[in-house]
Amino acid sequence: MSATMTPYFYVGDVPVYGDVILSPMAGYSDVPYRALCRAYGSAMHYTEFVPVEALIGRNVHERFRRRLDKQPDERPMVFQIFGNDARMILEAAQRIEAWGPDIIDINMGCSTRRVSGRGAGVGMMPQPELVRDTFSLLTQHLSVPVTGKIRLGWDESQQNYADIARIMEDNGAALIAMHARTKTQKYGGQADWDAIADLRARVSVPVIGNGDVRTPADIERLKAHTGCEAVMIGRAAIGNPWIFARRCREEVRPADLLDAVRLHAREMVAYYGAPHGLIQFRKHLKQYLADLPEAEPIVPALLTIQSLAEFESLLAQIGEPSMAMG
């Protein structure tokens, strides 16, 4: 990043040079896709979340170690973890701090039953003492900034984000990101942008707003409505990295779309190897090609190919007159 550029905001002493960020998403926010989104303008880079239990002990399983992998130039880099015991969270955080994150983030927003049901993820929000102890311990014992991603609360009757945010800030949190839905809403209903604005008014640390940002216009609307420092985009970024460049998906030419597909597939194979990289890529591919009618006849074949050379050869047929006749 050029020294002449002015940061949009700081997380502790870590500068962030943009206001649009790829959300941490299990199964999606891996090294290859973060690289693609970064090329289009994603300004801060969150890993997939990792359970603290997997990071404690003599050996860390390769599957979880890889989730906290990063590229040398990937900065600022945020490692995200989750747990339901403050001292275990600290122990895991101290271990991964040596792996080079710029920031460590506590996931307090995951709504899946296997996480929240045991008091982790958004399951931390009904436990203010656990939130207090976690941030107090981490900010005392780590040298990198500590942040958290929350929701509005557990359900409509327990929207305690304001109290949790105050506890986080009072105990050293350097940034708060909020998905403006409750745990029981999951991803349904409408995100409450008024709550993001309320959170922004209550705390002095930077706030990242998350929820119902589907277009470049939504980025500007959310920032104007809430005053938040940055916008986090999750589901709307899958198959649509152009949103980080504030380009509408409808304006992306098919040739540019196919270039992105090709680049992403190559990154996946380079990182995961073949055929695993292409298999992992299939969930992205469906989203990339969903609005491309000329690709429809060969999508089933693209979703079964296990060789990158064959994949690229078949992809090159999109738009050719003979495609439908072959």
Instruction: Note whether 215 and 243 are within 8 A (CB).
Output: yes
For residue 291, the model assigns a pLDDT of 86
Mean pLDDT computed over 28-36: 95
Helix H or strand E encompassing 166? helix 161-170
- Please tell me the pTM assigned to this model: 0.93
> Which entry of 37, 110, 228, 248 is annotated as an active-site residue?
110
321 has a pLDDT exceeding 50 = no
Is 110 an annotated catalytic residue?
yes
323 has a pLDDT exceeding 50 = no
89-111 exposure pattern, b = at least 16 Cβ within 10 A, e = fewer: bbbbbbbbbeeebbbbbbbbbbb
Whole-angstrom distance, CA of residue 43 vs CA of residue 207:
14
Domains of the chain: 9-249 (3.20.20.70), 253-315 (no CATH)
Mean pLDDT computed over 279-293: 94
Whole-angstrom distance, CA of residue 152 vs CA of residue 198:
11
Q: What is the mean pLDDT of the chain?
A: 93
Cis bond before residue 126 (omega within 30° of 0): no
For residue 322, the tally of other CB atoms under 10 A from its CB is 7
